[in-house]
């Protein structure tokens, strides 16, 4: 039951993050590739409301690994859950590397270097977010089925 709650929470949080990242990444990508005139035209569309990295709950996973309770659930479900939490860890790693770099050399939001780094981060992130959302969509019925047994 806790897995279902945690996965649904992570799905909902990621959907909100993705809704922010996707349109911003499109404008940002156009902006960093544009010449000075193109940048002026795009400037009003480039609005940051912080970076908004996705965050993931993982208490149910950590507890199940620590207590070895994964052995009590269906092996296929345990495998899918493991893939999801591993994928979340990849996104966390990407976010950690990005934020570490930012804090080592704090940028100005208008600097070209900062915008290029955010563009690379968002480019990776927006390619990963739909994959993870689809994984959530596929695992929730498996969890519901296991709970019904």
In tens, the pLDDT along 114-144 reads 888 889 999 999 999 999 999 999 999 999 9
Rounded average pLDDT over 42-58 = 88
| Residue 108 confidence (pLDDT) above 70 | no
Rounded average pLDDT over 76-93 = 96
pLDDT at 23: 94
pTM equals 0.88
Q: Which residues contact 15 (CB under 8 A, 6 or more apart)?
A: 133
pLDDT at 117: 86
pLDDT at 135: 97
H-assigned helices in the chain = 2-33, 36-42, 59-66, 75-104, 112-148
Q: Write out pLDDT tens, residues 22-46.
A: 999 999 999 999 999 998 888 888 8
Q: From the CB of residue 8, how many other CB atoms can be counted at a distance below 10 Å?
A: 13
pLDDT at 112: 78
pLDDT at 110: 65
Residue 55 contacts residue 10 (beta carbons within 8 Å): no
Higher pLDDT, 77 or 105: 77
Residue 118 contacts residue 51 (beta carbons within 8 Å): yes
Short-list 12, 1, 143, 125, CA closest to 81: 143
Q: How far apart are CA 74 and CA 16, in angstroms?
A: 30
């Amino acid at each position: 039951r806790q897995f279902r709650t945690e996965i649904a929470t992570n799905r909902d949080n990621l959907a909100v993050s993705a809704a922010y990242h996707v349109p911003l990444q499109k404008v940002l990508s156009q902006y960093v590739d544009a010449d000075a005139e193109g940048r002026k035209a795009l400037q009003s569309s480039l609005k940051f409301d912080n970076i908004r990295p996705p965050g993931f709950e993982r208490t149910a996973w950590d507890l199940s690994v620590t207590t070895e309770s994964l052995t009590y659930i269906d092996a296929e479900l345990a495998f899918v859950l493991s893939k999801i939490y591993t994928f979340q860890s990849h996104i966390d790693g990407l976010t950690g590397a990005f934020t570490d770099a930012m804090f080592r050399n704090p940028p100005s939001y208008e600097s070209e270097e900062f915008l290029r780094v955010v563009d690379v981060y968002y480019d990776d992130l927006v390619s990963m977010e739909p994959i993870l959302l689809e994984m959530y969509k596929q695992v929730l019925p498996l969890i519901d089925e296991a709970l019904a047994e």
